[in-house]
Amino acid sequence: MQIKDVRPESFVKQICCDRCGLLAEVGEAEFQEFVSIELKAGYTSIFGDGNDVQIDLCQQCLKTSLGPWLRVSNATTRTDLLQKQLGRFDPDRHGGEFPTPADDASPALGSKAAEGPGSR
Ligand SMILES: [Zn+2]
């Protein structure tokens, strides 16, 4: 039996653009368009090994700061790109075939993989 209770949890109520100072509140459309970057710098990082790097940008500042390098696409563009990439797939060159529902139903492949290479 599970006995449930409720507890308060923290959440981001407002977000402030680190570049222009725009303040957006949760529930506002602008809030959903913010981009937050948070990373821990690695051994060879220019930010210093182990340092935390964070920034919150509104959509305007994201476009102003990174616009030329952003890859903006829509669902149609992504589907077209995927179809183009799949069209280049050649089973003779790349090996194998696309899995079919029949492959999922075959228990033989799964049992061979579980045996491992030295089990003969
Ligand atoms: Zn901004």
Q: What is the pLDDT along the chain (120 residues), one digit of tens a residue?
A: 999 999 999 999 999 999 999 999 999 999 999 999 999 999 999 999 999 999 999 999 999 999 999 998 888 888 888 888 888 888 778 777 666 677 677 555 544 444 444 444
Q: What number of helices (H) and strands (E) belong to the chain?
A: 6, 4
Query: According to the model, what pLDDT value does residue 117 have?
Result: 47
Span from the CA of 23 to the centroid of ligand 1 (angstroms):
9
The Å distance, Cα 53 to ligand 1 centre, comes to 18
Q: How far apart are CA 68 and CA 73, in angstroms?
A: 14
Q: Could you tell me the distance, in angstroms and rounded to a whole number, from the CA of residue 119 to the centre of ligand 1?
A: 60
Q: Which residue has the tokens 């710098």?
A: 41
Domain ranges, ordered by start, for the chain: 14-102
Taking the centre of ligand 1 as the mean of its atom positions, its distance from the CA of residue 64, in whole angstroms, is: 9
pLDDT at 89: 81
pLDDT of residue 107: 57
- Return d(Cα 32, Cα 15) in angstroms, integer: 10
Measured CA to CA, the distance from residue 114 to residue 62 in angstroms comes to 48
The reported pLDDT for the residue numbered 59 is 97
- Ligand 1 center to 77 CA (angstroms): 28
pLDDT at 4: 95
Cβ count within 10 A of residue 34 = 18
Q: How many residues does the chain have?
A: 120
CA of 68 to the centre of ligand 1 (A): 17
DSSP 32-87: HT-EEEEEE--TT-TT-TT-EEEEEE-HHHHHHHHGGG-----HHHHHHHHHHHHH
